[in-house]
Amino acid sequence: MGERDDTQERVAGDSPAASAKPKRSLAAASGLGALLLVAGTAVGYSAFGRAGELAAELRDEASADSAEEAESTDSGEREASSFQDRVDAVDAEEGEEALGAIVPLDTFLLNLPGGKYIRVQMQLEFQGMEVPTRFYGRVVPIRDSIITSISSQTADDLQTVKGKDELKENVRKIVNGQLRKDLVRRVYFTQFVIQ
């Protein structure tokens, strides 16, 4: 029995030490967690607090840059305008006619008689440097008339230089007719594909 009591004493003796050991580990882990929390907060504040300051500085610089850009855009428009005036003056001196305002029309993709189709992009050159305001209100009927005109022609007719020139003239007459004034000077094809 003496042995048994001794074993029980050891087991009983080990139990308080064993239960105290997890308590100490738990306390140490809690202390370490609190230390990491405090240190992490301090590091995070210093890192992100400084990042906030940097972001504010960058915002201020960006707003200053955009103000300078706006000023340079205004002067750029003046320079472009004066550049165009100089180009027009040179053209006039050389006896060439200055270009008018040029407006692109949306792409036309149409079926042609005979099972082929045409893809055309065109631009209209107006008489002056300004696009007439009435043009924008008449774009739909203008496009409709152009579509009717193109789709009534054959691919063979449109593939020749003469056919393209006749189409340009026809488009010019259509637009001027819709505008009720002779405002379009020329028509330019920027893409012309028949397949």
> How is the chain classified by DSSP, letter by letter?
-HHHHHHHHHHHHHHHHHHHHHHHHHHHHHHHHHHHHHHHHHHHHHHHHHHHHHHHHHHHHHHHHHHHHHHHHHHHHHHHHHHHHHHHHHHHHTTPPPP--EEEPPPEEEE-TTS-EEEEEEEEEESSSS--HHHHHTHHHHHHHHHHHHHTS-HHHHTSHHHHHHHHHHHHHHHHHHHTS--EEEEEEEEEEE-
Percent of the chain predicted with pLDDT > 70: 52
The per-residue pLDDT for 145 is 97
* Statement: residue 121 has pLDDT above 90: yes
CB 185 within 8 A of CB 126: yes
Contacts within 8 Å (CB) and 24+ apart, 154-158: 154/112, 154/113, 154/114, 155/112, 155/113, 155/114, 155/116, 155/118, 155/194, 158/112, 158/118, 158/194
pLDDT digits (tens, 9 = 90+) for 89-116: 666 667 777 889 999 999 999 999 999 9
pTM for the whole structure? 0.54
pLDDT digits (tens, 9 = 90+) for 28-83: 556 555 555 555 544 455 444 555 555 555 556 555 555 555 555 555 555 555 56
pLDDT digits (tens, 9 = 90+) for 32-45: 555 555 555 444 55
* Statement: residue 130 has pLDDT above 70: yes
What average pLDDT is seen over the chain? 75
CATH architecture of the domain formed by 102-194: 2-Layer Sandwich (3.30)
